[in-house]
Structures are given as C-alpha cells and as structure tokens.
Structure 1
Amino acid sequence: MRISLFPLQAVLFPGATLPLHIFEPRYREMVGRCLEHEEPFGICLILEGEEVGGPAIPHRIGTEAAIIAAQRYRDGRYDIVVEGRRRFEVTSLERTRPYLRADVRFLEEPEGEEDPGLAEAVAKLFEGVLESVELSGQAVIDETWKDLDARSLSYKVASALPVGEDAKQEILEIPDTAARLRRVAEALMALRRIGAAAGAG
C-alpha cells in the first residue's frame, strides 16, 4: 500500500492521539489531499534531517495516522488531531511530490510468549507511577487505560512514558505484545526507583 509520510520529531503509537499544526506548504497540500479523499497518512520518527524545511529520512517503522479533527484557516494552515492506527514498515520511498510517499507493509500484532500476569503487573506499575505524578500536581491521563486489552495497554503506557523519542521508537519497533509489555515494565520500574531515590533525598 502507498501512503503519504509525515516525518516528525515524535513517535505516534497505535491508539494515541497527536495534535499537529500544519503550516509548511508541502504538508498543507498533503493534509488537504488526505481530507479530500478521506485517506490516512503515515507518521515516522525522523532518522536524519530536519522536521521543517529540507528533506528528512524517516525511520523504517511508523504508524498510520487517521485525521479525527481538522480546522483549516484562511491562509491555508491547518490544525488537526490524528489518531494512531496500524504500525507499518516502509519498503520504499517515493519523492515525486513535495512531500514523501512510501510503499508500506502493515505489521502483524502477535501476542508473543504467554505470560498471564504480565499485563496486570504493568497496569499496577503504571497506576503507581500515575499516583506519584498526581501527587506532584501534574496533569494525569484519564482512566480509560484500566479497561484496555494487553496490546492496547502496552501502547498506552509506552505513549505516556517520560522518555526520549528514540526510546519510544525502540518500543514501537518491538514486534509482539509480551515483549513490549516487558520493556515498558522495565521503564516503569526504573521510574519508580528514581522517584523513591528522590523522595529519600
């Protein structure tokens, strides 16, 4: 399948939402076309290059983005909100338009090695981290995550982690749910240790 690509300095996970302000002419054209034809586009973390201006080389793994809200201004700019859908792998790039297009292969979502208590353990760790954030007076995401299946939970937690985009890209590229849950559990335990050390200090 061929889709338009928007390389960003951000990772979008399936199920997550991302607000975007579209001001560059090439991406205004892309968004206008996607809205007209009711097409999604792809978001990939930038591997090399810049987000604005010149060309950018995207990471190989990205996420399909569906536009769920859009406002167009008189000067052609857009404010949009996208929601992550399926992960994909870029198999080839096309540079015949002002913006990138790519042939992509959508990725399977295997469960991985069975571990019945893993999702529950991640949920408890996540709840503990959220409670500590709430006590510090910062905003907390809503509680809909408590009703998610294991796959969706792995992406929800990954999206909320206060880690760099390169670390999030590594999580996005993990091929199965169980391995992804183990990785976010490690990150949550590291955050808990940091919080405990800060409290002790």
Structure 2
Amino acid sequence: MTNFIPIFPLGIVVYPGEQLNLHIFEPRYKQLIKECFDNKKPFGIPPVIDDKMNDTGTLVRVMEITNVYEDGKMDIKTEGLQVFNILESIKELPEKLYSGAIVNYPANAESGNRALMLTIVAAIRELHKLLKITKEFKKPDNELWSYDVAHHAGLSLAEEYELLQLLQELQRQEYLKRHLKRVLPIIAEMETLKERVQMNGHFKNLKGFDI
C-alpha cells in the first residue's frame, strides 16, 4: 500500500508497539498533532541522524493529548504502528506548516526464535547489572521481541536505525545478539579496571604468601 502521511522528523528511532511521550512546542508540529488527533489519522517519524532525515521511519498514532498549555504547547502520548519507507518527500503543503511524504509499508516478518530471544533478554539484564542500572520491561520475558528490548540494549542512534531497517524478526534478534556479544566483555573489563583503579593508593589488608 502507498499513501500520503504528515511527517515529524525527530532525532530518535521509534519502533512498532513502542509508546512514546512527546512535548510539542513548534507551531508546525502543534498544527500537525491537532489535525492528526482530531481526524484520528497517524503521522510518520523518520529519524534524523547527523542532520540528515532518513527514508525509513515508523508510523505513529496519537493516543492522548495529556496537557495543553496556555501558549498552545502540548504533551502527548503516542504509539508506534508500523515501519514505512519514504518514496517522495513533500516539503511544502497547501495551507500547512508541516511537511509530508508519499510512503509505502514493507512486509515485516515478526515471528522469530523464542529461545534466542530469551538469551538476548538475559544478556540485556547482565548488561544492566554491569552498568548498575535498573530498567523494567513492560511485558513478561516470554512475550518480549526485538522491538520491545532494542532501546534497552545500549545501541547508538545509528545502530537503532540499522535495526529498524531489518524487516525480519530473526534478523533483528541476530543483530542484538552480535551487539551484546561484542559489548558485554568490554563493559565487564571496564568494571574490573574501575575496581583496580579504586584500590590503588589505598591501604590494603593483604595476606602474605608462604613460600
């Protein structure tokens, strides 16, 4: 299917199924959000990376406008729906402040390997443990898929975008697996190094070695 959507380029990657809170303050996007909410129509968020708008993004719907300020600024709740590809950007629209795009929606195979997914979840929990942070998933472990955990895996913005471009769940799982396999030993070594540095310069109660 091909159609026209309003677009809201942002320096983030949004995944299908993700719920995202946004603060809207620019006049063009206040207009976009009000129209989409009133007409129950979605809009697109194409990620902006290194000052460049990318062609793959996520269709998003406005779930709720939670607050409207006196100056028209808004707090909103949104939900990611599906991945799109931009075929043509339309910078200027009649009587609109915002831009739009002609897009299509590539097939997205969302069935993956459950055992592999549980391994990925365990690795992400290990990463959080090493980093001494606490983040809870919004679903039970046996219901999680790659989109649910991608923001928890320590990916850069460019890496999150690479994952968005993968249109098979198994590909996304393998991507996360390779990433975690690469970063976990680095983080573990950094933690060991940190402990060694903290010990240096302090009195130590060390037991002698009997020869």
Q: 1:135 to 1:183 in 2, by over 3 A?
A: closer
1:84 is aligned to 2:80: yes
Q: Contact between 1:119 and 1:181, CA under 8 Å: does it hold in 2?
A: no
1:180 is aligned to 2:182: no
1:96-135 to 2 correspondences below 5 Å: 96=93, 97-110=96-109, 118-134=113-129
Q: Contact between 1:42 and 1:65, CA under 8 Å: does it hold in 2?
A: yes
Normalization by structure 1: what TM-score?
A: 0.83
Q: Measure, in 1, the Cα distance between the counterparts of 2:132 and 2:106.
A: 39
Task: Tell me how large the CA RMSD over aligned residues is.
Answer: 2.2
| Equivalent residue, structure 2, for 1:44 | 46
| Equivalent residue, structure 2, for 1:155 | 147
Q: Measure, in 2, the Cα distance between the counterparts of 1:130 and 1:111.
A: 23
1:20-99 to 2 correspondences below 5 Å: 20-47=22-49, 49=51, 58-70=53-65, 71-95=67-91, 96=93, 97-99=96-98
Q: Could you say what secondary structure the match of 2:9 adopts?
A: strand
Q: Say which one has the larger Rg.
A: 2
1:134 CA drift (Å) = 4.7
1:35 CA drift (Å) = 0.9
1:172 CA drift (Å) = 0.3
Deviation digits for residues 39-63 of structure 1 (CA, Å, limit 9, x no counterpart):
11111111564xxxxxxx5211000
Identity of aligned residues (%): 25
1:167 CA drift (Å) = 1.0
Query: How many pairs were matched up?
Result: 187
Q: Measure, in 1, the Cα distance between the counterparts of 2:185 and 2:116.
A: 16
2:8 corresponds, among 6, 9, 12, to 6
Larger RCO of the pair (alpha carbons < 8 Å, separation 6+): 1
Q: Measure, in 2, the Cα distance between the counterparts of 1:191 and 1:154.
A: 17
Unaligned stretches of 5+ residues in structure 1: 50-56
Q: Contact between 1:28 and 1:77, CA under 8 Å: does it hold in 2?
A: yes
Q: Could you say what secondary structure the match of 2:147 adopts?
A: helix
1:144 is aligned to 2:139: yes
Q: Measure, in 2, the Cα distance between the counterparts of 1:194 and 1:185.
A: 15
Unaligned stretches of 5+ residues in structure 2: 194-211
Deviation digits for residues 102-144 of structure 1 (CA, Å, limit 9, x no counterpart):
11101211268xx7xx432232232233245257542312351
Q: 1:143 to 1:65 in 2, by over 3 A?
A: closer
Q: 1:111 to 1:80 in 2, by over 3 A?
A: closer
1:88 CA drift (Å) = 0.5
Q: Could you say what secondary structure the match of 1:36 adopts?
A: helix
| Equivalent residue, structure 1, for 2:208 | none
